[in-house]
């Protein structure tokens, strides 16, 4: 199985799909093609949340603001999964998740036909062919154009600052519902009746519907972090928070 993930507006993902189908009989499943545009950190977060639910697969990931520059193309081998992605860190958090730590391998992949590759669409001309080949050959070790490397861009999410009875966190991503996902682990919040969010007391609830429509809540999201939400509404608007904002949580 080959999965496709990108921040590409339609119909660019279809060109990748066509290239994969032309080179491989692998089943294709889409992960997402509407990651926040050129937001490598957000894509890295979502990949870490989603890819581990898939069976072993080759994941072709293209969120690539550096397309056409000299950044490398990588194959990351983590557990039974392969992730083909640009060298900007996007594949690293999910690799750590899949490998339960740093026990993953990184390979640099030479462009198959660099001479003819466009400079603006490596999803089609570099990553899709590489994913098809990695899949069909069973991994980068079987490909002459892959070589192990220890020189790759790392990416880690910012740690929250733990303060007395709380944490100063950061908004990592806002999902399409408007739920505000912070970098603060949910553990200390579970079981609380409510916590202070930037000095306002907000109820902690297991379910969005445990609050009336339009009312705010704190929950521990399906990702395990503290999430600020509104039942049937948008948490980002109600809390006035965007990606990268700082937020003080006190329990």
Which residues bind to a second copy, rule: CB under 8 A?
Answer: 1, 3, 5, 8-12, 14-15, 17-19, 21-22, 28-35, 37-38, 46, 49-55, 65-69, 118-121, 124-125, 175-177, 206-210, 219, 221-222, 227, 232
What region, left, alpha or beta, does residue 97 occupy, with left being phi > 0 and alpha being psi -120 to 50 degrees? alpha
Residue 152 CB, nearest distance to a second copy (Å)? 18
Question: Measured from the CB atom, is 14 or 192 closer to a second copy?
Answer: 14
Question: Measured from the CB atom, is 33 or 216 closer to a second copy?
Answer: 33
Residue 14 CB, nearest distance to a second copy (Å)? 4
- Dist CA 150 CA 64 (whole Å): 20
Instruction: Calculate the alpha carbon distances from 174 to 18, 62, 186, 228 in Å.
Output: 31, 20, 16, 10
Beta strands in the chain (DSSP E): 2-6, 28-32, 58-62, 73-78, 81-86, 105-109, 146-148, 161-163, 166-174, 180-185, 194-197, 200-203, 216-220, 225-230, 246-250
Question: Measured from the CB atom, is 183 or 219 closer to a second copy?
Answer: 219
Question: Measured from the CB atom, is 77 or 175 closer to a second copy?
Answer: 175
Residue 1 CB, nearest distance to a second copy (Å)? 7
Residue 237 CB, nearest distance to a second copy (Å)? 14
Residue 94 CB, nearest distance to a second copy (Å)? 12
Residue 227 CB, nearest distance to a second copy (Å)? 8
Pairing of strands 146-148, 161-163: unpaired
Structure tokens at 45: 């977060």
Total Cβ atoms within 10 A of residue 97: 18
Question: Measured from the CB atom, is 36 or 188 closer to a second copy?
Answer: 36
Question: Measured from the CB atom, is 80 or 161 closer to a second copy?
Answer: 80
């Amino acid at each position: 199985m080959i999965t496709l993930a990108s921040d590409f507006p339609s119909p660019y993902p279809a060109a990748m799909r066509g290239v994969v189908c032309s080179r491989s009989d692998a089943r294709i499943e889409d992960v997402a093609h509407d990651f926040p545009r050129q937001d490598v950190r957000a894509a890295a977060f979502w990949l870490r949340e989603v890819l581990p639910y898939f069976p072993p697969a080759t994941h072709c990931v293209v969120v690539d603001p550096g397309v056409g520059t000299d950044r490398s193309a990588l194959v990351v081998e983590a557990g039974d999964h392969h992730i083909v992605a640009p060298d900007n860190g996007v594949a690293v958090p999910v690799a750590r998740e899949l490998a339960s730590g740093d026990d993953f391998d990184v390979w640099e992949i030479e462009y198959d036909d660099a001479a003819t590759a466009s400079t603006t669409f490596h999803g089609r001309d570099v990553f899709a062919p590489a994913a098809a080949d990695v899949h069909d050959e069973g991994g980068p070790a079987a490909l002459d154009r892959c070589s192990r490397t220890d020189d790759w861009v790392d990416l880690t999410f910012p740690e929250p600052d733990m303060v007395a009875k709380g944490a100063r966190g950061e908004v990592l991503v806002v999902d399409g519902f408007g739920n505000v996902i912070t970098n603060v682990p949910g553990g200390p919040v579970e079981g609380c009746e409510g916590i202070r969010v930037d000095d306002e007391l907000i109820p902690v609830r297991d379910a969005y519907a445990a609050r009336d429509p339009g009312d705010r809540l704190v929950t521990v999201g399906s990702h395990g972090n503290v999430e600020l939400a509104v039942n049937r509404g948008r948490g980002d608007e109600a809390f006035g928070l965007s990606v990268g904002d700082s937020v003080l949580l006190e329990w």
